[in-house]
């Protein structure tokens, strides 16, 4: 790759020599690469090396995605796509393979699996220090982040609005298992330099969290301009107003990319058992199946002889990231069991048992559809 090529507009959006290499078959068909920066229903805003443009999917694409019963096939914010340029418009012919993907279930069946953000390197899981800090919800965000393949960071926002943040931060660190926890305030500027330092040029971070925690305010502070509309939370219950209604990828002056998302009501199912089951389905089922091949029934998949899980990791059958997120889930369970409150631990065990059960059901459905 020459010096000139590395300075293209698309490379500032994360386009790499490796992606360019994989793109050659599309280039041979006269297609050009683009990244989806806004998706609103069927309308797409794309960036190509020539600048920003409106995009739509081709009739053939729509037909094939519908035939495959797969909502996950459609382009989403963050996706790399191959487009045909036709005058002012760009027609999306193909979604390129995703490095990472955030998925939710739309209605409990596999064909409604919906990818909501793609090719995200880091997940900023935002919770406000001024409202009830819901640790269970943070755990679920963590689970979603692990399953997506993006590296999680927990952002505790509105530090200025909390008199005594230390105990809260300690509680969050206790469930975070080494995930960085950063408290920030847009009012005082606290933590913003530390956050900027985590956001690398050409890398994409997604902001996730309930409505009103201050995601868009943070984007504006990092961008130095009012990129996104923001709105005060409701006085009576400190809940947000669902101000952001679409997902948008923003190139920051630092060269880092940040993806702002609507608060979690729009993504409500991420919070639901079904969504979590979807996220974990393949991992859980795959590992359970592999573990049946272990020599010892109570194998801890550590250093036991004849461990099928270790073997699967060694020969590449089992993805190490998936294995890590599965282990994380097991640690969460163990952690809940250690807590004083035996009822909470029991509830936690029940919750995960339900997740595993629906995960198996979900994968079964998926297989039937795949077959």
Q: Which two three-digit tokens encode residue 108?
A: 């409990």
Stretch that binds Mg ion, among 8-16, 238-246, 311-319, 320-328 (CB under 5 A): 238-246
Decide whether 210 or 283 has the Cβ nearer to ligand GTP: 210
Main-chain dihedrals φ then ψ at residue 39, nearest 5 degrees? -130, 125
Specify the residue for token string 């899981």: 125
Is the distance from CB of 6 to CB of 12 less than 8 angstroms? no
244 binds Mg ion (CB under 5 A): yes
* Count of positions on this chain that bind ligand GTP (CB under 6 A): 25
Binding mask 289-318 for Zn ion (x = CB under 5 A): -----x----x-x-----x-x---------
DSSP assignment, residue 303? S
Stretch that binds ligand GTP, among 10-18, 170-178, 194-202, 233-241 (CB under 6 A): 233-241
Q: Which two three-digit tokens encode residue 61?
A: 């694409």
d(CA 205, CA 361): 32
Non-local (6+) Cβ contacts of 320 within 8 A are 313
Main-chain dihedrals φ then ψ at residue 176, nearest 5 degrees? -90, -15
Q: What length is written for the chain?
A: 371
Stretch that binds ligand GTP, among 107-115, 182-190, 191-199, 285-293 (CB under 6 A): 182-190
Give the nearest distance from C-beta 226 to ligand GTP in angstroms.
Answer: 11
Give the nearest distance from C-beta 227 to ligand GTP in angstroms.
Answer: 11
Stretch that binds ligand GTP, among 34-42, 86-94, 210-218, 309-317 (CB under 6 A): 210-218
Q: How far from chain centre, in Å, is Cα 294? A: 32
216 binds Mg ion (CB under 5 A): yes
Q: Roughly what angle, to the nearest 10 degrees, separates helices 273-291 and 135-148? A: 50
Give the nearest distance from C-beta 271 to ligand GTP in angstroms.
Answer: 14
Main-chain dihedrals φ then ψ at residue 245, nearest 5 degrees? -120, 0
113 binds ligand GTP (CB under 6 A): no
199 binds Zn ion (CB under 5 A): no
Q: Which two three-digit tokens encode residue 253?
A: 């002056």
Decide whether 245 or 346 has the Cβ nearer to ligand GTP: 245
Q: Residue numbers of the site for Zn ion (CB under 5 A)? A: 294, 299, 301, 307, 309
Q: Residue numbers of the site for ligand GTP (CB under 6 A)? A: 157-158, 160-161, 185-187, 211-217, 230-233, 240-244, 262-263
């Amino acid at each position: 790759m020459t010096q000139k090529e590395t300075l293209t507009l698309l490379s500032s959006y994360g386009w790499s020599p490796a992606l360019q290499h994989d793109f050659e078959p599309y280039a041979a068909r006269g297609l050009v690469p683009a990244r989806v920066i806004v998706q609103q229903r069927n309308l797409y805003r794309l960036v190509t090396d020539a600048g920003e443009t409106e995009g739509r999917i081709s009739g053939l694409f729509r037909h094939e995605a519908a035939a495959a019963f797969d909502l996950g096939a459609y382009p989403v914010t963050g996706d790399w796509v191959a487009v045909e340029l036709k005058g002012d418009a760009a027609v999306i012919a193909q979604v390129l393979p995703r490095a990472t993907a955030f998925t939710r279930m739309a209605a409990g069946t596999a064909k409604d699996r919906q990818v909501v953000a793609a090719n995200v390197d880091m997940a900023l899981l935002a919770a406000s220090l001024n409202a009830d800090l819901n640790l269970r919800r943070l755990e679920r965000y963590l689970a979603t982040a692990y399953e997506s393949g993006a590296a999680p960071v927990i952002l505790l926002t509105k530090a200025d609005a909390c008199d005594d943040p230390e105990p809260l931060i300690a509680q969050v660190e206790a469930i975070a298992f080494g995930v960085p926890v950063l408290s920030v305030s847009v009012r005082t500027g606290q933590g913003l330099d530390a956050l900027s330092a985590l956001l690398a040029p050409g890398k994409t971070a997604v902001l996730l969290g309930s409505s009103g925690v201050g995601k868009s305010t943070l984007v504006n502070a990092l961008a130095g301009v009012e990129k996104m509309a923001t709105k005060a939370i409701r006085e009576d219950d400190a809940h947000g107003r669902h101000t952001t209604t679409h997902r948008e990828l923003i190139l920051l002056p630092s060269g880092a990319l940040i993806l702002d998302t609507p608060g979690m009501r729009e993504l409500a199912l991420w919070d639901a058992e079904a969504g979590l089951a979807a996220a974990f389905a393949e991992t859980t089922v795959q590992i359970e199946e592999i573990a049946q091949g272990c020599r010892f029934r109570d194998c801890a998949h550590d250093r036991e002889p004849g461990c099928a899980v270790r073997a699967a990791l060694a020969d590449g059958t089992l993805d190490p990231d998936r294995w890590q997120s599965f282990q994380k889930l097991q640690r969460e369970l163990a952690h809940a069991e250690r807590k004083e409150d035996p009822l909470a631990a029991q509830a936690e065990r029940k919750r995960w048992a339900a997740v595993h059960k629906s995960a198996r059901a979900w994968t079964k459905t998926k297989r039937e559809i795949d077959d």
